[in-house]
Structure formats: structure tokens, C-alpha cells
């Protein structure tokens, strides 16, 4: 007894951040931890609320924006815009697995379904265009919503 240390056994976020080649700061660790814990992509406002709950003093609004962007820049987070036009962030591991297949998005319930098919090769781009990501989305009504609708 009297041994059990406040032991930092294995801190995933810290390691990821260090491996990404940027400085390991308290802010970045807190934010990346929160992203990993989240079930859905978080907006800046939502992130701010989650961080406020903790014991540490809230970080500056601008700093949070910069931390989120830096995590995106070094590949540890993803940034996407939601239907209201607000940016949402998620831990990178969570979405990379969705890069190589097609998605079906239900316009009724908002659900996203992963299909087996993989997206086709990108067509040739006009001169000067730089491709970053490719999304092949089918939109319609999912099985559940279709049957419910057919009443």
C-alpha cells in the first residue's frame, strides 16, 4: 500500500499529440480527450460546455478554436460542417474508417448507413484543382422510415 501512485499509466491523447509532432499542452490534451470520449462530433460551443464541467479553469474561447484547428491540421481531428452551418469536430480515428465506402443518408430520420460498396475512382479534375476527400452519398428513405411512411 501507500504505493499506488497518481500513476500516468498510459495517456493515449498525450502520446498521439507527441507523435503528431506538436507541443503537448494541457489544452490540447483536454480537448483531444473530450473528442475521444464524445459519441458524436462536437461543436465549439458544446466542447466549451464540456470543458467547463471539469475542475480546471476554462480556457479562452480563441484558444479553443486554435486548439481544434491545430488538431485538425496535424491529422488528429476532423472538421465538418453540420446542417446549420456550424463546424463540428471529431477524433480522427473515428471517421477514417468511413473513408472507403459509400453511405446512405436517410432524409427522414437523418440516419447514416454504411454500404458495402466502395466509391468509384475520382474523375479527372480541371487544371489546378486539388482533391482532398471524396464522398459518394446516396440519399433517400431508409427501410424503417419507408415502411412507417407507407401506412
**Using CB under 8 A as the criterion, which residues of the chain lie in contact with a copy of itself when the complex forms?**
81-87, 102, 104, 107, 113, 115-117, 119-120, 122-144, 146-147
Q: Let me know the angle formed at the C-alpha of 44 by 113 and 98, rounded to the nearest 5 degrees.
A: 25
**Contacting range for Mn ion; rule: CB under 5 A; set: 15-23, 62-70, 92-100, 129-137:** 92-100
Quick count: other Cβ atoms within 10 Å of Cβ 119? 15
Query: Quick one: what does residue 69 bind among Mn ion, a copy of itself, DNA, none, with the CB cut-off 5 to 8 Å set by partner type?
Result: DNA
CA distance linking residue 119 with residue 138, whole number of Å: 11
Q: Which residues pair with 114 in a beta bridge?
A: 103
Q: Which of 96, 111, 114, 148 binds Zn ion (CB under 5 A)?
A: 111
CA distance linking residue 115 with residue 134, whole number of Å: 15
- Which CB, 1 or 125, lies closer to Zn ion? 125
- Which CB, 57 or 120, lies closer to DNA? 57
- Which CB, 27 or 119, lies closer to DNA? 27
CA distance linking residue 78 with residue 93, whole number of Å: 9
Shortest Å distance, C-beta 14 to a copy of itself: 29
- Which CB, 18 or 96, lies closer to a copy of itself? 96
CA distance linking residue 69 with residue 44, whole number of Å: 11
Amino acid at each position: 500500500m501507500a504505493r499506488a501512485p497518481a500513476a500516468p499509466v498510459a495517456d493515449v491523447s498525450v502520446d498521439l499529440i507527441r507523435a503528431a509532432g506538436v507541443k503537448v499542452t494541457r489544452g490540447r490534451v483536454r480537448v483531444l480527450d473530450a473528442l475521444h470520449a464524445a459519441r458524436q462530433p462536437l461543436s465549439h460551443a458544446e466542447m466549451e460546455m464540456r470543458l467547463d464541467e471539469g475542475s480546471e479553469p476554462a480556457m479562452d474561447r480563441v484558444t479553443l478554436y486554435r486548439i481544434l484547428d491545430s488538431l485538425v491540421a496535424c491529422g488528429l481531428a476532423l472538421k465538418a460542417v453540420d446542417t446549420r452551418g456550424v463546424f463540428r469536430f471529431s477524433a480522427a480515428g473515428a471517421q477514417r474508417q468511413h473513408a472507403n465506402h459509400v453511405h446512405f443518408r436517410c432524409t427522414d430520420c437523418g440516419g447514416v448507413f454504411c454500404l458495402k460498396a466502395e466509391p468509384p475512382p475520382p474523375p479527372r479534375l480541371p487544371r489546378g484543382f486539388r482533391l482532398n476527400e471524396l464522398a459518394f452519398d446516396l440519399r433517400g428513405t431508409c427501410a424503417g422510415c419507408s415502411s412507417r411512411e407507407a401506412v
